[in-house]
């Protein structure tokens, strides 16, 4: 904080000491000096740093001290400050103690010089021109005429420069409509004014399952036939015949039978024994007539003779439903058709508003998974199929269609018209159809256009007119469907400005 103190020199004169800091400037120093009530003011510069004071400020501070009835002294070691003080005759010292001990030099009074001497009023009167020069002003009529001319001059100036006007015009709108032939092609990169737009693609996976009844039948063996045979010994020795020994018919192909038990045929030719048998394979083939079984297989075939005294029966078969290849093909075709419908609906919900889906470009890229139940070679009353398929479809983006419509409409824009800011309205006229690698359709593009506003013509027509006259002229000359809005400043002024620069026009 700045320090302010009082000291007395050797002559006993009271001195106000004001310690300055680097933040002080001319304004703050002058304000602090105003509080001094002593015949001398001593400004003490800081030892470090600079005070924002110019040589001219030192002169002004000396004058301010003089206006306070005080002498000004400076304590500083700064060369530029000491030089400025020397030029102004301000005593300067190196320390406060030195300022207390030494006598201050008497300051020169500030001289305020006058640029001209004041002349006596009588002399000024004598220098006035003769009254004859203004004799014509003595007449009241002439004075009124001069006054009137002055008033008229002021009115003319006001008429020309005072008023301003803003004219707001709504140009008549017109609907621009055009039917555009659009062709979307894969691989195209840019929109062409001829109607060609890029075809973008969406790729998604779809899965589903379906079931159908089996139409085929398969006959399967069920029970094996059973019966009894007679074994006859053809030798003089006893013969042991094991269980499970094979017998067969003489037919082609032969039917095989197996014995159910082990037996021993007594010794002697013509000795016989009965044994139970069953067909080796189940089914109707094991049902044979009496005497059909005549062959003993194996090494005992020359030692034994065999026959079945009664028919062998009991063999049965069963019939099961089974899916055929036609069933599998029909089920796959039906499920793929259902997935196609799902894909069209799902793709339609995935595109953005304004995009045009191209149904003719829907394609199955690949079957990712195909599972049948039951698998091939197995029976079952029903056939189930699960599929996971990857599809792709093409579409035209709304941004490309807007760009195409803008290009075509701009190319056919009537002369003297501009398009109103806003979105172009697009409507489908025909459905997309594929032809020669491209998908084509028609769409109707519509937008609002209005004539270009001729600001110069509007200003020329309305200069100096009243609001009613200006509105009527603008409606007639520009074919406005809605009356122009005119605002004049000041509001009480009846005419539009005569200067074109004072009239602004907005559409």
Contact 344, 236 (CB under 8 A): no
Tokens 């074994």 belong to which residue? 231
Q: Indicate the CATH number for domain 4-101.
A: 3.30.750.24
- Taking the C-alpha atoms of residue 356 and residue 249, their distance in angstroms, rounded to an integer, is 78
- Taking the C-alpha atoms of residue 201 and residue 394, their distance in angstroms, rounded to an integer, is 4
Residue 451 pLDDT: 82
Burial tier of 481 (Cβ tally within 10 Å: 0-12, 13-18, 19+)? exposed
- Four-CA torsion 429, 434, 439, 444, nearest 10 degrees: -10
State the pTM of this model. Answer: 0.50
Fold of 223-315: Elongation Factor Tu (Ef-tu); domain 3 (2.40.30)
Radius of gyration, alpha carbons of the chain = 63
Residue 116 pLDDT: 45
Residue 220 pLDDT: 81
Residue 95 pLDDT: 87
Burial tier of 344 (Cβ tally within 10 Å: 0-12, 13-18, 19+)? middle
pLDDT digits (tens, 9 = 90+) for 403-432: 999 999 999 988 888 888 878 999 999 999
Residue 158 pLDDT: 66
Contact 394, 201 (CB under 8 A): yes
Residue 429 pLDDT: 92
Partner residues linked to 392 by β-bridges: 203, 363
C-alpha distances (whole Å) from 160 to each of 155, 465, 488, 493, 497 are 9, 13, 14, 12, 7
- Taking the C-alpha atoms of residue 400 and residue 184, their distance in angstroms, rounded to an integer, is 10
pLDDT along the chain (507 residues), means of 10: 51 78 86 84 85 85 86 87 86 85 62 48 58 57 78 71 83 87 90 92 93 86 92 92 92 93 92 94 92 91 92 89 90 93 91 91 92 88 93 93 91 86 88 85 91 83 86 80 84 84 83
pLDDT digits (tens, 9 = 90+) for 12-51: 577 888 888 888 888 888 888 888 888 888 888 888 878 8
- Taking the C-alpha atoms of residue 439 and residue 41, their distance in angstroms, rounded to an integer, is 100
DSSP labels, 217-247: EEEEE----EEEEEEEE-SSS-EEE-TT-EE
Residue 128 pLDDT: 56
């Amino acid at each position: 904080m700045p320090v302010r103190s009082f000291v007395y020199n050797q002559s006993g004169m009271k001195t106000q000491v004001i310690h300055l800091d680097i933040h002080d400037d001319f304004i703050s120093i002058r304000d602090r000096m105003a509080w001094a009530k002593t015949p001398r003011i001593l400004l003490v510069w800081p030892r470090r740093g600079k005070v924002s004071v110019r040589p001219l400020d030192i002169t002004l501070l000396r004058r301010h001290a003089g206006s306070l009835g005080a002498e000004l002294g400076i304590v500083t070691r700064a060369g530029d400050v000491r030089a400025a003080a020397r030029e102004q005759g301000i005593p300067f010292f190196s320390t406060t103690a030195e300022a207390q001990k030494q006598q201050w030099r008497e300051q020169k009074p500030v001289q305020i010089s006058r640029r001209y001497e004041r002349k006596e009023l009588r002399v000024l009167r004598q220098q006035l021109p003769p009254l004859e020069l203004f004799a014509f002003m003595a007449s009241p009529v002439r004075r009124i005429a001069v006054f009137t001319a002055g008033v008229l001059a002021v009115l003319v100036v006001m008429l020309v420069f005072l008023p301003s006007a803003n004219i707001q015009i709504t140009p008549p709108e017109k609907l621009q409509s055009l039917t555009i032939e659009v062709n979307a092609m894969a691989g195209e990169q840019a929109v062409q004014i001829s109607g060609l737009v890029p075809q973008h693609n969406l790729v998604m996976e779809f899965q589903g399952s379906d079931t159908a009844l089996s139409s085929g039948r398969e006959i399967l063996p069920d029970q094996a036939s059973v019966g009894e045979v007679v074994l006859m010994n053809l030798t003089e020795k006893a013969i042991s015949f094991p269980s499970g020994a094979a017998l067969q018919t003489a037919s082609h192909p032969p039917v095989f039978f197996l014995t159910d038990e082990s037996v021993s045929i007594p010794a002697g030719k013509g000795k016989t024994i009965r044994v139970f048998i069953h067909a080796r394979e189940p089914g109707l083939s094991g049902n044979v007539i009496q005497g059909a079984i005549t062959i003993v297989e194996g090494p005992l075939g020359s030692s034994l003779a065999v026959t079945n005294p009664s028919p062998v029966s009991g063999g049965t078969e069963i019939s099961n439903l089974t899916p055929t290849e036609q069933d599998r093909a029909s089920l796959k075709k039906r499920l793929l058709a259902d997935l196609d419908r799902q894909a069209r609906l799902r793709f339609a919900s995935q595109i953005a508003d304004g995009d045009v889906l191209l149904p003719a470009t829907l394609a199955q890229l690949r079957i990712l998974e195909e599972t049948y139940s039951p698998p091939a070679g197995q029976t079952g009353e029903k056939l189930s199929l699960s599929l996971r398929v990857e599809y792709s479809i093409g579409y035209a983006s709304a941004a490309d269609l807007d760009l195409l419509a803008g290009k075509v409409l701009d190319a056919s824009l009537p002369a003297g018209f501009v398009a109103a800011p806003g979105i172009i309205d697009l409507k489908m006229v025909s459905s997309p159809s594929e032809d020669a690698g491209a998908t084509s359709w028609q769409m109707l593009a519509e937008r609002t256009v209005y004539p270009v506003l001729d600001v110069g013509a509007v200003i020329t027509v309305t200069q100096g007119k009243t609001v009613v006259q200006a509105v009527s002229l603008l409606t007639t000359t520009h074919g406005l469907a809605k009356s122009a809005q005119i605002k004049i400043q000041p509001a009480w002024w009846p005419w539009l400005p005569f200067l074109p620069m004072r009239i602004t026009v907005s559409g």
